Structure 1
Amino acid sequence: MAANESHYSLPRPSFDRAPKLLIVVAPYYKDIADQLVAGARAEIEAVGGTHDTIEVPGALEVPTAIGQAFRMSDFDGFVALGCVIRGETTHYDTVCNDSSRAITLLGLQGACIGNGILTVENRAQAEVRADAAGQNKGGGAAAAALHLIALARRWGGTKRSVGFMPKADEFQIATGGDKL
């Protein structure tokens, strides 16, 4: 069982300027979500960081909210939290795969995200993983986001566009507007 395994964790990063994170949680299983959030908050506060927390209806909405905040806010990083417990239909697979894929794609665009959306077979597994005094997967997700923030700051932290960007002359021709 995973509860008995030991693993290596990186030491906490340190920051000259306190990081600001957004915790996005899907509280479908409220007691599980509360434990995940408690672990994430404690980890962020342990490095002197600040956080805001928002709730969304479900795990599929977590990456959408993070994507909006990444484009429209000044957060340094994000913590995705929630719990998906296998049910009787293939909906479990869709929610697990699509939420994870969307979070990964946001990360590849430069968002510093720790993914703490639990994907488990049953409630007992979720309780063990969420427990802030146990496996503390919420704290682990926050730690992942903090490490990515530290890397982004180390490498300059500037946001760059990903994908096609027309040259100024092409933009002017295409839009009939002034040069950028």
Structure 2
Amino acid sequence: MMHRPFAKSHAKTNASARGLRIAIVCAEYNPEFTRPLLSETLAELRALGAKDSALRTVRVPGSFEIPIAAAALARSKKFDAVIALGVVLQGETAHAEHIVVSAAHQLQTIAVSTGVPIVNQILSPADARQARARCKPGKLNRGREAARTAARMAIVLRELET
């Protein structure tokens, strides 16, 4: 087995999305937060060199529905990565936590079983103030972070396959 030195892409903080096919599954629930999350994700992917023709956006009713759509996209083998976007505000019961934990578990299972990276940005802020801070347009938007992570993971997996 050949020893490979630490690949250059691993040292980068930003990755290129040029030539990558990326799908985004975005919950419609809490649109005041998910809309800017989605628009910033798309903006970052374009800034990283992704072509609109290589991007696919799928809207689902809520965060609990994200895994089944992500599974269909990953199994299609048409995409190098899938990004999951949703916002589940914490409430007075554990319902929000159950949704977020269940979705996270399913997304990781799908990623491992298909070999397609799935970036989980189903956020679970305590309140609307925290949600706004994570979803407002700008460099700290979690959608931008998801776009960079998806590009990096797609590149890492390509390198591992060679």
Report the TM-score, using the length of structure 2 for normalisation.
0.84
- What does residue 144 of structure 1 align with? 149
Output the amino acid matched with 1:11: T
Q: Does 1:124 align with 2:129?
A: yes
Structure 1 stretches lacking a partner, 5+ long: 1-8, 158-180
Aligned length: 148
Q: Which amino acid aligns with 1:121?
A: A
1:43 corresponds to 2:20: no
The letter for the 2-side match of 1:48 is: G
**CA deviation digits over 1:35-61, x for unaligned, max 9?**
111111112112221311110111111
More helix by share: 2
The AA in structure 1 aligned to 2:140 is Q
* Alignment partners' CA distance in 1, 2:130 and 2:16: 32
Partner of 1:13 in structure 2? 15
Deviates more, 1:50-59 or 1:106-115: 106-115
Q: Choose which of 60, 67, 71 in structure 2 pairs with 1:67.
A: 71
Aligned pairs for 1:1-180 (under 5 A) are 10-14=12-16, 18-49=19-50, 50-109=54-113, 110-156=115-161
Distance 1:83 1:117 in 2: 6
Give the distance between the partners of 1:123 and 1:143, measured in 2 at CA.
25
Dislocated runs of 4+, deviation >4 Å: none
**Structure 2 stretches of 5 or more lacking a match?**
1-10
1:10–1:84 CA distance, 2 compared to 1 (3 A): farther
Q: Secondary structure at the match of 1:115?
A: strand
Q: Which has the higher contact order (CA 8 A, sep 6+)?
A: 2
Larger radius of gyration: 1
Quote the offset at 1:134 in angstroms.
Answer: 5.0
Give how far 1:88 is off: 2.0
**Could you say what secondary structure the match of 1:120 adopts?**
coil
Describe the superposition over 1:127-162 as per-residue Cα deviations: whole angstroms up to 9, x where unpaired.
1001121521011111111111001111227xxxxx
